[in-house]
Amino acid sequence: MNNRIDQAEVGVATPANPATSGSVRWVGKGVAAAVIVAVAATAAHMHWSSASPVVAPPPPSVAISAPLQRDIEGRLGFLGQFSAVNRVELRAQVGGTLTQINFKDGDIVHKGDVLFEIDPEPYQIKLSQATAGLESANARLALATRELARAQELQRSEAGTVENVDQKVAEQRAAQAAVDNANALVRDARFDLDRCKITAPFTGRIGTHLVSTGNLVSGSRAGSGPTTLLATIVSLDPIYLDFDISENDYAAFQHSRENRKGPLADAVNISPTGDSGYARTGTLNFIDNTLDRSSGTIHARATIPNSDLSLTPGGFARLRLATTAPQPALLVPDAAVLQDQTDHMVYVVGDDNVATPRKVEVGDLRGGLRVIRSGLAPTDRIVIDGIPAVRPGSKISPHTGTIQFSAEHGDEGAKS
């Protein structure tokens, strides 16, 4: 009886077929092991969760500051190109063989310097001929004058006729005209001889020589005939800065000129390529009389002193033109202004230390800072450093920062 009960209780573990009893025991052991592992893992997870809770990261540490308040003037910015006040093509007024070049290419030459020399011998011969003709004419005039005096004396003694006196008067006048003509020929010959030396018409920089010594050059006094271009020379001090003003900017500038009088109304500041600031100044001295219909701009020009000769025609420079008197404005670091498509925004920090984006309208750069035209109040606190760690609506750990205005900073145009 007990044997049957034992058989029934372990019937699953000990089947009737002794050949399969070993495999059944291994399956039972595997299931039991899997159950034990799962229970152990669950217990470990529960123990870890209760022992190490997840800790939120601390708020990012960022620098905040109120916008910097400063009086700044309204202004317009342009890009201009330098051009020479005077530019001359050096051409010969007489023809002949080029015998000498008295400069190096690119030199600064001064007014009156002899730059080119043409063989003067043919013109010296011409001057000698004219001088000889003048001497002959003077001799004929002296003879005619004496003969006229004798004829007049004979007439007074009634030994001569009136007709003879009249004839001598005509001869004397013809001789005088011959002298005048001979004098003109002398001046003409001397003019040609003097033009064998080509001089600098003003102080400036000369370009490369286009004709070498030994070449035959053509010349013309009026420039109507064929002439040989020898070189070009441009003046450097002062120098022009040409630029174009849009129609809207021109209207704003005209309005500002009505309210601003005196020399400062036309003062400009420039920053040539390579300069970091606007240290150079000049004077606006020309605005064209017509707007260009194709571009909607009007041409303008400023005169810039260039005593150190560092500015070169053809170079570029940025130009600033004041339009209003200094007025209060808010400035923030340019890095604190974020661009969202066509809008600009800054992070404003509330009393609860939550950073909230706010849309602002920006202007140009002043002292390395961005002008804020609208959207901020002087008492607002904005994030000026650590912006990449800030998320909209998130808490921050603020500390006080400082906004520095750099008067020597090279400012640029409006933020795009």
Average pLDDT over residues 4-26: 43
Average pLDDT over residues 333-347: 88
> Is 129 in the same domain as 37?
no
pLDDT at 243 over 50: yes
Residue whose tokens read 């994030």: 383
Query: What pLDDT was estimated at residue 19?
Result: 43
Query: What pLDDT was estimated at residue 410?
Result: 53
pLDDT category of residue 13 using cuts at 50, 70 and 90: very low
Average pLDDT over residues 187-213: 94
pLDDT tens-place string over residues 70-117: 888 778 889 999 999 999 999 999 999 999 999 999 999 999 999 999
pLDDT at 414 over 50: no
pLDDT category of residue 301 using cuts at 50, 70 and 90: very high
pLDDT tens-place string over residues 362-392: 888 888 889 998 899 999 999 999 888 888 8
Rounded CA separation 407/40 (Å) = 71
Q: Is 131 exposed, middle or buried (0-12, 13-18, 19+ CB in 10 A)?
A: middle
CATH number at residue 335: 2.40.420.20
Domain with 252, as residue range(s), is: 75-85+238-322
Q: Domain tally for the chain?
A: 5
Is residue 57 assigned to a domain? no
> Is 169 in the same domain as 106?
no
Rounded CA separation 216/96 (Å) = 5
Is residue 166 assigned to a domain? yes
Average pLDDT, the chain: 82
pLDDT tens-place string over residues 134-184: 999 999 999 988 988 888 888 788 777 888 888 888 988 999 999 999 999
> Is 336 in the same domain as 384?
yes
Q: What is the largest CA-CA distance in the chain?
A: 206
> Is 129 in the same domain as 110?
no
CB atoms within 10 A of CB 191: 14
Q: Is 52 exposed, middle or buried (0-12, 13-18, 19+ CB in 10 A)?
A: exposed
Query: What pLDDT was estimated at residue 316?
Result: 95
> Is 91 in the same domain as 220?
yes
Residue whose tokens read 């009389």: 289
Residue whose tokens read 């500051």: 65
3 state SS of 110: coil
Residues in the chain: 416
pLDDT at 30 over 60: no
Amino acid at site 359: K
> Is 229 in the same domain as 242?
no
Is residue 299 assigned to a domain? yes
Query: What pLDDT was estimated at residue 6?
Result: 44
pLDDT at 333 over 50: yes
- The structure tokens listed for 42 are 């669950």
Query: What pLDDT was estimated at residue 409?
Result: 58
Is residue 58 assigned to a domain? no
Is residue 208 assigned to a domain? yes
pLDDT at 12 over 70: no
Average pLDDT over residues 184-211: 94
Using alpha carbons, list the distances in angstroms from residue 185 to 152, 268, 353.
Answer: 32, 54, 97
pLDDT at 265 over 50: yes
